[in-house]
C-alpha cells in the first residue's frame, strides 16, 4: 500500500471512530463476597465454624442479659403485687351521733383486727367537722383518706323513736354512710375498699341487731309493736361511690395506653437513628447542631402523635368535658404530649450511651418501673415504691383521672413533674452526646494518623 493510501485509510478510521473526550477508565475488579447458600450449621469448614462461633456467642450473651433482666427488673413488678396490700390504707371514722349507735359502731371499728392490714381506721371527733358529713365528703374528695365512715346525726334518736312509737319509721340505712372514690383507683376500690367495708359493716350491724333484740326481750317490749325491719336491721349502711369509674375505655388511657405511649416514643427514637444514618447527618453536623435536632425533632413529632392519640381516644367517647368543659380536650392532649416527651427523651438520652445493642434493657426497666406504680395505690405498696410519686406514668394517670372523672385536681403538679423529666433529658442528652462525639472524633483522628 502506498503512503497516500495509508494516510487516507487512517483519516477514514478517525472519521468513523472519533476519539473519546475523556481519558480511558481502567477496569477495576473488586473482591465481592458471594453468598454460597451451600453450608450447613454444623459443617466443619473454617468460615462456617467462625460464623457459628460468633452466632452462638452473641445468643449466649443476649440470653444471659435477658435472664439478668428477668431477675433484676421483672421482680419490680412481681414485688408490687406480692402480699398486696403491703401497707394498710387510711380510713376515717367520725361519730356524728354521739350516742348508743355511734359508740357501738366506733368501738367495733377501732377494735377490729381482722382487716387492719387492709384499712387502718382512725377515729376523729365530730368537732373537727363543723359542717357535719359534708366536711367528711370534702376530705375524701381531697384524698386525705381512702375511705371514710360516718355515723350520721340522730341515728340513735331515730331508732329509739321508731322502737317506742314516738316517730315515723326512717330507713335504717341512713344510720351509717361510707364514702370512697372508685375513680381514684378502681382496683383498690373494687378489691380492697368496698369488700372490706361491706364485710365489716355487715358484721357490726348484725351484732347491733343481736344487742337490740336482747334489750327488747329484757325490757319486755312487745315485739308485735316493732317493725320487722327494725327487728332484723335496726341500723344499716350505704356505700357512696363519690367518683365512679364509669367509663370502661378510660382503662386504655390510665394504664395500658401508657405502655403504648412509651412504645410509640421508642419507635420515634429508632426513626431518628435511621433518618440520621441514611441521610449522613450523624457525621456531617457539628455536635451542637446534632444535639439540637435530636431534641427538637422528637418533641415536634410527639406533638403530632399525642394529638392523634387524643383524637382516637375522643372518637371512642371518652368524655373530656365533664369537669373542664372544652378545655378538657386540650388538657388531655397537652398531658399526653408532656408524658410522651418525658418518656421519649429519656430513651433518646440513654440511647446515646447504651446504643442500640443495650437500650432494650433500659426500655424494659423504664416500662416496668412505671407500670408497677400505676395498677395499685402506692400507699398499699411497700415503701420502696414511693418513687412512683415522681414516675411519668403515675403523673399521666393522675392527670387523666382528674380530667375525666373529677378526682383531686393536681394538674399543675402533674405537668410540673413531667416538665422536670423533660428538663433532665435536655441536660443529660447534650452531655452524653458530647462525650460520645469526643470519642468518635478521637478515633477518627487516630485512624488518619495511622493512614
Where is average pLDDT lowest: 37-46, 113-122, 237-246? 37-46
Q: Is pLDDT above 50 for 6?
A: no
| Banded model confidence at residue 22, pLDDT cuts 50, 70, 90 | very low
Angle among Cα 345, 346, 351 to the nearest 5 degrees reads 95
Q: 200-203 long-range CB contacts below 8 Å, 24 or more apart?
A: 200/109, 200/112, 200/115, 201/149, 201/176, 201/237, 203/108
Name the one residue in this structure whose C-alpha cell is 334518736. Answer: 157
What does the pLDDT read at residue 224?
52
CB 174 within 8 A of CB 101: no
Distance separating alpha carbons of residues 297 and 292, to the nearest angstrom:
8
Q: What region does 165 belong to: left with phi over 0, alpha with psi -120 to 50, or beta?
A: left
**Percentage of residues of the chain with pLDDT beyond 90:** 71
Distance separating alpha carbons of residues 74 and 364, to the nearest angstrom:
8
CB 165 within 8 A of CB 195: no
Query: For the CA atoms of 439, 443, 448, 450, what is the dihedral angle to 10 degrees?
Result: 150
Average pLDDT for 386-415? 96
Distance separating alpha carbons of residues 232 and 228, to the nearest angstrom:
6
Name the one residue in this structure whose C-alpha cell is 387502718. Answer: 120
What does the pLDDT read at residue 446?
80
What does the pLDDT read at residue 227?
63
Distance separating alpha carbons of residues 171 and 160, to the nearest angstrom:
13
**Close Cβ partners of 65 (under 8 Å, ≥ 6 residues apart):** 358, 361
What does the pLDDT read at residue 9?
47
- Model confidence pTM above 0.95: no
Q: Is pLDDT above 70 for 299?
A: yes
> Residue 230 in 3-state DSSP?
helix
For β-strands 147-151 and 176-180, DSSP reports them as antiparallel
Where is average pLDDT lowest: 91-105, 135-149, 215-229, 304-318? 215-229
Distance separating alpha carbons of residues 42 and 48, to the nearest angstrom:
8
Q: Is pLDDT above 80 for 263?
A: yes
Distance separating alpha carbons of residues 93 and 125, to the nearest angstrom:
9
Q: Which three cell numbers stand for residue 189?
A: 376500690
Q: Is pLDDT above 80 for 2?
A: no
| Banded model confidence at residue 409, pLDDT cuts 50, 70, 90 | very high
Q: Is pLDDT above 80 for 247?
A: yes
**Close Cβ partners of 108 (under 8 Å, ≥ 6 residues apart):** 203, 204, 207
More confident residue, 1 or 101: 101
Query: What pLDDT, in 10s, does the model give residues 335-381?
Result: 999 999 999 999 999 999 999 889 999 999 999 999 999 999 999 99
What does the pLDDT read at residue 5?
47
Distance separating alpha carbons of residues 409 and 323, to the nearest angstrom:
10
Where is average pLDDT lowest: 85-89, 119-123, 158-162, 206-210? 158-162
Q: Is pLDDT above 60 for 225?
A: no
Q: Is pLDDT above 80 for 223?
A: no
What does the pLDDT read at residue 37?
80
Average pLDDT for 186-215? 92
What does the pLDDT read at residue 228?
64
Q: Is pLDDT above 50 for 161?
A: yes
What does the pLDDT read at residue 222?
57
Average pLDDT for 215-219? 67
Q: What are phi and psi of 94, to 5 degrees?
A: -130, 125
Q: Is pLDDT above 60 for 3?
A: no
Strand-pairing partners, residue 225, are none
Amino acid at each position: 500500500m502506498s503512503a497516500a493510501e495509508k494516510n487516507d485509510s487512517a483519516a477514514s478510521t478517525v472519521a468513523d471512530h472519533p476519539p473519546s473526550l475523556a481519558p480511558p477508565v481502567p477496569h477495576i475488579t473488586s473482591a465481592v463476597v458471594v453468598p454460597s447458600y451451600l453450608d450447613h450449621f454444623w459443617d466443619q469448614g473454617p468460615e462456617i465454624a467462625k460464623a457459628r462461633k460468633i452466632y452462638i456467642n452473641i445468643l449466649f450473651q443476649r440470653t444471659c442479659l435477658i435472664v439478668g433482666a428477668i431477675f433484676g427488673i421483672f421482680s419490680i413488678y412481681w414485688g408490687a403485687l406480692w402480699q398486696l396490700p403491703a401497707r394498710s390504707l387510711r380510713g376515717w371514722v367520725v361519730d356524728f351521733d354521739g350516742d348508743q349507735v355511734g359508740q357501738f359502731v366506733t368501738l367495733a371499728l377501732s377494735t377490729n383486727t381482722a382487716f387492719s392490714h387492709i384499712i387502718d381506721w382512725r377515729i376523729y371527733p365530730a368537732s373537727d367537722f363543723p359542717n357535719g358529713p359534708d366536711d367528711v365528703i370534702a376530705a375524701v374528695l381531697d384524698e386525705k383518706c381512702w375511705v371514710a365512715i360516718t355515723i350520721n346525726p340522730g341515728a340513735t334518736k331515730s331508732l329509739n323513736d321508731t322502737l317506742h312509737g314516738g316517730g315515723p319509721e326512717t330507713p335504717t340505712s341512713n344510720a351509717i354512710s361510707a364514702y370512697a372514690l372508685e375513680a381514684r383507683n378502681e382496683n383498690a376500690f373494687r378489691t380492697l375498699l368496698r369488700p372490706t367495708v361491706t364485710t365489716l359493716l355487715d358484721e357490726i350491724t348484725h351484732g347491733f341487731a343481736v344487742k337490740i333484740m336482747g334489750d327488747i326481750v329484757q325490757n319486755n317490749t312487745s315485739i308485735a309493736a316493732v317493725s320487722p325491719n327494725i327487728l332484723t336491721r335496726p341500723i344499716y349502711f350505704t356505700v357512696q361511690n363519690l367518683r365512679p369509674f364509669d367509663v370502661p375505655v378510660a382503662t386504655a388511657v390510665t394504664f395500658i395506653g401508657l405502655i403504648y405511649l412509651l412504645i410509640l416514643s421508642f419507635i420515634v427514637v429508632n426513626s431518628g437513628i435511621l433518618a440520621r444514618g441514611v441521610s449522613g447527618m450523624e457525621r456531617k453536623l457539628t455536635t451542637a447542631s446534632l444535639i439540637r435536632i435530636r431534641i427538637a425533632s422528637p418533641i415536634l413529632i410527639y406533638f403530632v402523635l399525642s394529638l392523634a392519640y387524643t383524637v382516637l381516644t375522643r372518637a371512642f367517647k371518652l368524655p373530656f368535658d365533664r369537669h373542664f368543659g372544652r378545655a378538657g380536650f386540650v388538657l388531655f392532649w397537652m398531658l399526653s404530649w408532656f408524658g410522651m416527651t418525658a418518656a421519649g427523651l429519656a430513651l433518646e438520652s440513654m440511647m446515646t450511651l447504651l446504643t442500640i445493642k443495650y437500650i432494650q434493657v433500659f426500655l424494659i426497666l423504664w416500662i416496668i418501673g412505671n407500670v408497677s406504680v400505676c395498677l395499685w395505690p402506692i400507699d398499699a405498696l411497700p415503701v420502696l415504691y414511693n418513687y412512683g410519686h415522681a414516675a411519668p406514668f403515675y403523673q399521666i394517670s393522675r392527670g387523666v383521672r382528674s380530667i375525666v372523672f373529677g378526682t383531686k385536681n393536681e394538674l399543675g403538679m402533674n405537668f410540673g413533674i413531667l416538665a422536670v423529666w423533660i428538663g433532665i433529658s435536655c441536660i443529660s442528652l447534650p452531655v452524653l452526646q458530647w462525650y460520645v462525639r469526643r470519642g468518635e472524633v478521637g478515633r477518627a483522628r487516630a485512624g488518619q494518623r495511622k493512614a
